[in-house]
A and B are shown apart, each in its own frame.
Chain A
Amino acid sequence: MAERIKILSKDWDKPNSWSLETYLASGGYQSLPKALKMQPQAIVDEVVKSNLRGRGGAGFPTGMKWNFVRKETMTPKYLVINADEGEPATFKDRAILEWSPHMFIEGLIIGCFALDCHLTYVYCRGEFRDGPIARCQQAIDEARAKGYIGKNILGSGFDLDIHVVSGAGAYICGEETALLESLEGRKGYPRLKPPFPANAGGGLWKSPTAVNNVETLANMPAIIEKGGEWFSSVGCAKNGGTRLFAVSGHVKKPGVYEAPMGITFLDLLNDYCGGMREGSTLKAIIPGGSSAAVMTAEEAVWASDFDTLKAKKTMAGSGGVVYLDQNTNMAHALANVMRFYAHESCGQCTPCREGTGWLSKLLDKIVSGKGEKQDIDNVHQISRQMEQKTICALADGAAMPAKSFIEKFRADFDALVKG
């Protein structure tokens, strides 16, 4: 096997990988002075060249998003970090915050400089207070003491404050506009768009705002050090870099693995996770968090990049991959998934509030053995009616598994119902 490229996880095996000493010893905080001497637009141009796609779920080109914000004339501008990590099966931002917080912080400072942002918030899910938030705060304190954060950073004239704030348990606050609502001190109701967060009127306190995922920013030191072209060459077409795959389910070695964008699910399973565990054979794959359409074992040869999976009618999403074995009943699995969405729907939109509720009820009925064939068809039908009709993408994220579990594993459902 070729040498594995490690960008984000290169320090994870080192003792105290989270400390400033370790990060400095491995060449950390070398990109920051370099970036501070560049024109902000030149940094964004590098990010455009890098083909970095947002790692939060939608895979939006980061450079393009940053150019939207740069084009706005309204000030102040904000870069807000999404560390809500709520998508079921996703646990990779936590790995960055716990094991390499300085790489993320260096990336964040570079990002803020590129966007002319002087005040930034890292919005972390509340459950992270004891671990990831503590590590992140410690890294911020260390970086501040070194003069990387604060007034006149490294003599550049650039000022920046970074604050960590914690949510309080609501999956929907991972959606970027709900996150902004929550950050402003309200309940997390997604906002109607437009205006988009990047535009005046749509962001934090109505200012132009880029909301980006933790992993997205953690790539900045490497992009500045080695250049956008190099970063782009690591991944596959239009999908630059590596990605942190958070692997769970019935595999020998679950965990967070860094692999080039576009690796196939079969290679990820066999080369990184040691294959399926003893006695397990692969039945199904959830490729990018529970909101992604499910895949069959035969489809494991698909590449994992954003564009391939979109063309295959599923999504690369958050990089949370679940490998499920032959003993998993997919109807029961879907009933579990749908209970989550019914619970987490914020309730603003009727198709989502009622739809997830009905899907969950019908699926519970099916798995309790009281269902009929018609109920399966109704689940499929309802999920199709929830698509593309709502304020945010949660409803689509619930519809995608509902549709695909039935289309690809119908036998598991049929076996549970009468008639």
Chain B
Amino acid sequence: MIPLNTKPKGPVPSPFSAAQQATFDAGFTKAVAKYPPERSRAALLPALHLAQDLLGWLPEAAMAYVGSRLDIPPARVREVATFYTMYKLKPQGRHHIEVCNSVSCWAMGSEDLIKHCESKLGIHKGEITADGHFSLGEAACLAGCGYAPAVLINNYRYAEHMTAEKMDKLIEELKSAPGNKMADFPENKDTGRAH
């Protein structure tokens, strides 16, 4: 556990493999270049996205590392990471499925679709399947309301006009697709924080 309120003394170890590090560094340089030089801390959100894309979630070590690159104390990084729902503070399934349950999707049957996912995957919202393949959640309106119900896979891929049959097909497809990167991460264990 890294102390939250004080800046760590000395360099903060990177949570990335060598290949991941190169990807992170390239993305980080691009992200920082979007802001005036004295405003580089604005790159915190994009930098956290980058780290999460590589690791599949945001372990404490990744937050501390990103903070050190931007000269932001760990407490402030964590404040940001906990505020936004796309940042995952514990490991997710290799494929994380979120079903929108806001008003338009609700009117078009999103609650039934969520129940269908729960029984198909054998888990409740907020849980991960035993084999680690899938986790399930609810999303707030995804701006796919006219194509309801809308589903978001791994934070970026949309599936719309969903039905139980289409959901089953999608789940089958995902089983053999590469997922988010959580499985690659050596410290792949729950940090005990709920999100």
Q: Is the CB of B156 within 8 A of A130?
A: yes
Q: Is the CB of A333 within 8 A of B103?
A: yes
Considering the chains assembled together, what is the distance between the CA atoms of A248 and B39 in angstroms? 41
B 93-109 to A, binary, CB cutoff 8 A, 1 in contact else 0: 00000000111101110
Interface size bracket, A side: 35 or more
Q: Which residue of A lies closest to B40 (CB)?
A: A185
Q: Is the CB of A185 within 8 A of B146?
A: no
Residues of B within 8 A of A126 (CB): 49, 84, 86, 155
B158 to chain A, nearest CB (A): 7
Considering the chains assembled together, what is the distance between the CA atoms of A187 and B45 in angstroms? 9
Q: Is the CB of B44 within 8 A of A340?
A: no
Considering the chains assembled together, what is the distance between the CA atoms of A182 and B80 in angstroms? 9
Q: Which residue of B lies closest to A328 (CB)?
A: B107
B 175-194 to A, binary, CB cutoff 8 A, 1 in contact else 0: 00000000000000000000
Please tell me if A370 contacts chain B, counting CB pairs below 8 Å. Answer: no
B90 to chain A, nearest CB (A): 16
Residues of A within 8 A of B49 (CB): 126, 166, 168
Q: Is the CB of A290 within 8 A of B102?
A: yes
Q: Which residue of A lies closest to B48 (CB)?
A: A168
Please tell me if A366 contacts chain B, counting CB pairs below 8 Å. Answer: no
Q: Is the CB of A188 within 8 A of B83?
A: yes
Q: Which residue of B lies closest to A133 (CB)?
A: B156
Please tell me if A212 contacts chain B, counting CB pairs below 8 Å. Answer: no
B54 to chain A, nearest CB (A): 15
Please tell me if A272 contacts chain B, counting CB pairs below 8 Å. Answer: no
A88-B42 in contact given A127-B156, A170-B85 (Cβ < 8 Å):
no
Q: Is the CB of A255 within 8 A of B146?
A: yes
A336-B156 in contact given A165-B34, A169-B85 (Cβ < 8 Å):
no
Please tell me if B130 contacts chain A, counting CB pairs below 8 Å. Answer: no
Residues of B within 8 A of A169 (CB): 84-87, 140
Give the A-B contact count at a CB cut-off of 8 A: 144
Please tell me if B174 contacts chain A, counting CB pairs below 8 Å. Answer: no
A182-B45 in contact given A290-B102, A336-B103, A340-B103 (Cβ < 8 Å):
yes
Please tell me if B171 contacts chain A, counting CB pairs below 8 Å. Answer: no
Q: Is the CB of A88 within 8 A of B107?
A: no
Residues of B within 8 A of A290 (CB): 102-103, 141
Q: Is the CB of A86 within 8 A of B143?
A: yes
Q: Which of A125, A129, A250, A339 contacts B107 (CB 8 A)?
A: A250
Please tell me if A163 contacts chain B, counting CB pairs below 8 Å. Answer: yes
Q: Which of A184, A246, A247, A254 contacts B42 (CB 8 A)?
A: A184
Which residues of chain A in 295-312 are interfacial with respect to chain B, using CB atoms and an 8 Å cutoff? none
Considering the chains assembled together, what is the distance between the CA atoms of A128 and B145 in angstroms? 14
Q: Is the CB of A88 within 8 A of B146?
A: no
Which residues of chain B in 153-184 are interfacial with respect to chain A, using CB atoms and an 8 Å cutoff? 155-158
Considering the chains assembled together, what is the distance between the CA atoms of A324 and B145 in angstroms? 13
Interface pick from A89-97, A231-239, A357-365: A89-97
Which residues of chain A in 245-259 are interfacial with respect to chain B, using CB atoms and an 8 Å cutoff? 246-250, 254-256
Q: Is the CB of A130 within 8 A of B158?
A: yes
B27 to chain A, nearest CB (A): 12
Q: Is the CB of B146 within 8 A of A168?
A: no
Residues of A within 8 A of B41 (CB): 184-185
Please tell me if B8 contacts chain A, counting CB pairs below 8 Å. Answer: no
Please tell me if A197 contacts chain B, counting CB pairs below 8 Å. Answer: no
Q: Is the CB of B104 within 8 A of A336?
A: no
Scoring B44, B70, B139 by chain A CB atoms within 10 A of each residue's CB, the highest score goes to B44
Q: Is the CB of A165 within 8 A of B45?
A: yes
B122 to chain A, nearest CB (A): 25
Considering the chains assembled together, what is the distance between the CA atoms of A366 and B92 in angstroms? 34
13 A-B pairs with C-beta separation under 8 A: A90-B145, A125-B143, A127-B86, A163-B34, A165-B45, A166-B49, A167-B84, A168-B49, A168-B86, A168-B87, A188-B84, A322-B103, A340-B141
Residues of A within 8 A of B (CB): 85-91, 93-94, 119, 121, 125-131, 163, 165-171, 182-188, 205, 246-250, 254-256, 286, 290, 320, 322, 324, 328, 333, 336-337, 339-340, 343-344
A-B residue pairs, 7 tightest by C-beta? A168-B84, A169-B86, A187-B83, A169-B85, A248-B104, A254-B146, A185-B44
Residues of B within 8 A of A (CB): 34, 36, 39, 41-46, 48-49, 70, 72, 76, 79-80, 83-87, 101-104, 106-108, 139-148, 152, 155-158
